[in-house]
Structure 1
């Protein structure tokens, strides 16, 4: 499993676990498929920011579940 800190590892439609802004303190993860990649830089230490297809939720990728 990849940790989601490199933009090149993430593709649209991929199943990922993200942490939403409201869940950053608790660390609760939300699972969904990537609709859009929002971070422009090639690397981010807290995870690449994405929007999920499910309910258009936005958060940072913590775990990439499929390749």
Structure 2
């Protein structure tokens, strides 16, 4: 009797975890803070790239 009860409770726990994983709230996004951080890095990289390109263009104009 104890083994049967253990099997039933174990299956119930596994099914509860499976249901939670498939039906959890959509609002929980663990990647959102990382994505915002990467967006800031991309903006900074674009700014640096634009600044370097402007300096290279100015250097080429001054050599002509």
TM-score of the two chains, using structure 2 as the length reference:
0.14
* Structure richer in helix, relative to its length: 2
Point out the structure with max Rg over C-alpha.
Answer: 2
Relative contact order (C-alpha < 8 Å, sep 6+): which is higher? 1
TM-score of the two chains, using structure 1 as the length reference:
0.13
* Structure richer in strand, relative to its length: 1
